[in-house]
Amino acid sequence: MRLLIVEDNVELSQLLAKGLLAAGYAADIVDTAAEARAALTAVHYAALVLDLGLPDGDGLAILREIRHRRDPLPVLVLTARSGIEDRVGGLRSGADDYLVKPFALEELVARLEAILRRPGQLLGASLRLANLVYDTESRQVFIDDAPHVFSARETSVLEILLRRQGRVVPKKNVEDHIFGLSGDVGSNAVEVYVFRLRKQLADNGAKVQIHTVRGVGYLMVEEKA
């Protein structure tokens, strides 16, 4: 699952990205409001970690823009502003949660997970389809209750397809989920990882299928008898 961190403190943003990676999340980092807007336009993120004090603007303006276009993106606000009025203002502007600096990384991860577990959001303890189970906390894949090893990017593709099982996932969303703002994406990179995932699932007896919807994306469903 890929997140966007908007934070102008380089040391803090690196620590956040490292901690989130250890918790099973990939993260892109930007440090200005302008870069945040560009990233949110270019990539489909699972959640946003948003600092309010940015060098070229107020993070609340970004938050209001997100909500104005009715984007349900989960947003966790980070700020040094600890007053009641500040917290209320952030929540009324559309924040899902509000965390005052300094904070413990464990609390940030727990708050993000709580947001993503809310109805309509993306996180569940495990994702299941037929005899396939994916544990979102350990990032472990089970087929017929037996654990199997998949590469990190195969696992990322599996996760986004399982979260939207029975629905077509646009290729761009899969690409964003795997690579985010990375510049090293080949023209057929998504196809390669989907092919590898299909082979892994078939070789290990998973009773699921990944269909390619030409020109649109991918669909994961239970294998028909």
Q: What is the pLDDT of residues 175-216, one digit of tens each?
A: 877 777 665 666 788 899 999 999 999 999 999 999 999 989
Q: In angstroms, what CA-CA distances link 225 with 47, 146, 161, 222?
A: 37, 22, 21, 9
The top-level CATH class assigned to 126-222 is mainly alpha
Residue 210 confidence (pLDDT): 96
Domain with CATH 3.40.50.2300 in the chain: 2-117
Residue 160 confidence (pLDDT): 86
Is the pLDDT at 119 greater than 60, yes or no?
no
Residue 164 confidence (pLDDT): 83
* Cα dihedral sign, 92-93-95-99: negative
Residue 23 confidence (pLDDT): 80
Domain with CATH 1.10.10.10 in the chain: 126-222
Beta strands in 117-187 (DSSP E): 126-129, 132-135, 140-143, 146-148, 168-170
Give the pTM: 0.64
**Does 3.40.50.2300 match the CATH number of domain 2-117?**
yes
Mean pLDDT, residues 59-79: 89
Q: 155 Cβ partners below 8 Å, 6+ apart?
A: 134, 139, 141
